[in-house]
């Protein structure tokens, strides 16, 4: 499966995070779990150490290797969806259990990984020819946490 894959370092619970991600994102699966050999710092022997998975065909490796590095907003997954119902569904699933709402469609899940849930309508609105409408929609987006298609459309149409 290709040469390029995303790689995430978790202090703990990487295998649990991988299981959560494949339960939320369709067409996803864990492809391999490597258990820690003896002597790996911050990881008990036999515990899941490296987990390889596919998220909708995108290759991801999760390493559980102690607190030296942690996920931050500099890396995020983007889920592009077609409807407001899908935005709502994935947003709710990803923030469940301790996730945090951010802005402009971004959130942080309970494992500290950032996601942006984006409706295809956003790109369509931002590609329209009326620059003033695009500016209004952009301002509306900047005030949102979860992206809402109807208010984006309404902001674009005001004029």
DSSP characters over 69-104: S---TTSEEEEEESSHHHHHHHHHHHHTTT-EE-ST
- The CATH number of 71-159 is 3.10.180.10
Match domain 1-69 to its CATH number in 3.40.720.10, 3.60.20.10, 3.30.720.100, 3.40.50.300.
3.30.720.100
Among 145, 144, 16, 140, which residue's Cα sits nearest to residue 153?
Answer: 140
Q: Which residues contact 20 (CB under 8 A, 6 or more apart)?
A: 109, 110, 111
Q: Where in the chain is the domain with CATH 3.30.720.100?
A: 1-69
Q: Tell me phi and psi for residue 44, to 5 degrees.
A: -70, 140
In this structure, what token pair is assigned to residue 72? Answer: 């931050």
HSE (CB half, 13 Å, CA atoms) of 139? 9
Q: Where in the chain is the domain with CATH 3.10.180.10?
A: 71-159
Q: CB neighbours (10 Å) of residue 41?
A: 8
**pLDDT mean for each 10 residues of the chain (159 residues):** 85 96 98 96 94 96 93 93 98 98 97 97 97 98 98 93
Q: Which residues contact 131 (CB under 8 A, 6 or more apart)?
A: none
pLDDT of res. 2: 62
**CB-neighbour burial class of residue 15 (10 A; exposed 0-12, middle 13-18, buried 19+):** buried
């Amino acid at each position: 499966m290709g040469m390029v894959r995303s790689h995430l370092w978790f202090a703990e619970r990487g295998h649990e995070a991988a299981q959560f991600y494949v339960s939320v994102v369709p067409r996803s699966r864990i492809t391999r779990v490597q258990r820690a050999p003896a002597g790996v710092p911050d990881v008990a022997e036999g515990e899941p150490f490296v987990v390889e998975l596919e998220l909708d065909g995108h290759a991801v490796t999760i390493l559980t290797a102690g607190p030296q590095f942690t996920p931050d907003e500099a890396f995020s997954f983007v889920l592009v969806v077609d409807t407001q119902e899908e935005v709502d569904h994935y947003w709710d699933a990803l923030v469940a259990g301790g996730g945090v709402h951010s802005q402009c469609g971004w959130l942080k899940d309970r494992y500290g990984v950032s996601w942006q849930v984006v409706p295809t309508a956003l790109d369509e609105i931002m590609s329209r020819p009326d620059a003033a409408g695009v500016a209004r929609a952009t301002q509306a987006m900047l005030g949102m946490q979860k992206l809402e298609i109807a208010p984006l459309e309404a902001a674009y149409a005001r004029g």
